[in-house]
Amino acid sequence: MARLAALVAVLLLALAAPASAHDEDAHTPPDRVGDLRSALIESPLPPGVQFQVLQNGEALWLRNSTRTDVVVLDPDGAQRYQVGPDGAAVNTALPTEPTPSGDISQDPEKPSGDAAKAPAWQRVSTEPEVQWHDHYAHWGDATLPSQVLADPDHEHLIRAWQVDLVSDGKTYQVRGELRWVPGPSPLPWILVTVSLAIAVSLLGLVRRSQLPLAAATAVLVAASATHGIATVLGRQAENRWTILAHEYLPIVLAWLVGAAAVGLLAGRRATGRWFAALAAVGLGALALLQDLPVWWSSSSVVALPAGLDRALVSITAGVALGILVTVLRTPNITRSDAVTATQRNGSAHADEVLPQGR
């Protein structure tokens, strides 16, 4: 038991790093971030040009597959990026954009004089695409918008935003909106989680087989891994290998511990129960401490439908709690225990059929 406690402590400390990596930064409000949505509205684009909003406005992305350069303009009309067959370039004659503070929704764009400067292009990529952060397309203040604070239960248009593109002498206006969309009630998902925890904890009544616990652990690992992989794929504005290396190595370790538990339990090894408990502690803590906001957020940065992602988090949390209860409440089930139980049953049956002596 002491070994298990030590392993649990190590795994929880390792999981603390990826959890803290999702804390708010200069561009992320600390609470209910999943209810702020930035999305494109129908806008004409130059032929062969793609434009996307990534991670609810965390970044904007443009790709130009044509032989004609496309120039991205700043709000004051200055040329910021050039994207074409030779790749992507940034105008180094422009100063670095400062990070604004407070609500910039009503701030008028002040002429800077940069639009009149001749551009000095510096190649930043050989690929004909560029990604950048636009302060108007994303809510960057730590305090939620005033209209949301006054009425958080209804949808609000926070602001409209626009990016101008110039291609072949013609200007195109890409338009979008930043909106507050209230999320659903978490109560149904709480009920699902509690029901799963109770159902899995009843596996402790099955004392002569490890297979039900093995099946529950397999479900735990599958649900957690599906959610985790979909989250990495959904974070399109970031390098996925960097995410894996900096945040997901302890989580991958927990998945491997769970997979080992399934194999050990299928082979009727008593240590499999403690491996299952360790995986349940790690993956359950991750779901309960980090992933629960998907229950009450209207959207999440994940490459899955929001409803399916909420279900995966509920399955992970509920099954993890049930596995812990099962392991802690029931004694170890080993192969020798099963043989002993079978022998006892056989002896009892033989006693019943033997004639009684006088």
Per-residue pLDDT of the chain (358 residues; tens, 9 = 90+): 545 555 555 555 445 545 444 444 434 433 334 688 899 998 889 999 999 999 888 899 999 999 999 999 998 889 999 999 999 999 998 887 655 555 555 554 555 555 557 889 999 999 999 999 998 898 877 788 899 999 999 999 999 999 999 999 999 999 999 999 999 999 999 999 999 999 999 876 666 678 899 999 999 999 999 999 999 998 887 888 888 888 888 899 999 999 999 999 999 888 899 999 999 999 999 999 889 999 999 888 888 999 999 999 999 999 999 999 998 887 565 555 544 444 454 554 445 444 554 4
Name beta bridge partners: 344.
none
Tell me what pLDDT residue 358 has.
Answer: 41
Residue whose pair of structure tokens reads 């652990």 in the numeric block: 217
Q: How far apart are CA 58 and CA 238, in angstroms?
A: 10
**Residue the block writes with tokens 């004051």:** 76
How many helices (H) and strands (E) the chain has is answered by 9, 10
- Which residue in 133, 110, 112 sits closest to 59, CA to CA? 133
Handedness of CA 114, 118, 120, 123 (dihedral sign): positive
Strand, coil or helix: 77: coil
Residue 205: exposed, middle, or buried by beta-carbon count in 10 A (0-12, 13-18, 19+)?
exposed
User: Distance between CA atoms of 351 and 251, rounded to whole angstroms?
Assistant: 54
Which tokens go with 163?
């990016």
Query: What's at 205, amino acid-wise?
Result: L
Residues 87 and 130: their CA atoms lie apart, in Å, by 9
Q: Is 0.85 surpassed by the pTM of this model?
A: no
Q: Which of 33, 36, 60 is nearest to 157 (CA)?
A: 36
Tokens of 263: 């194999």
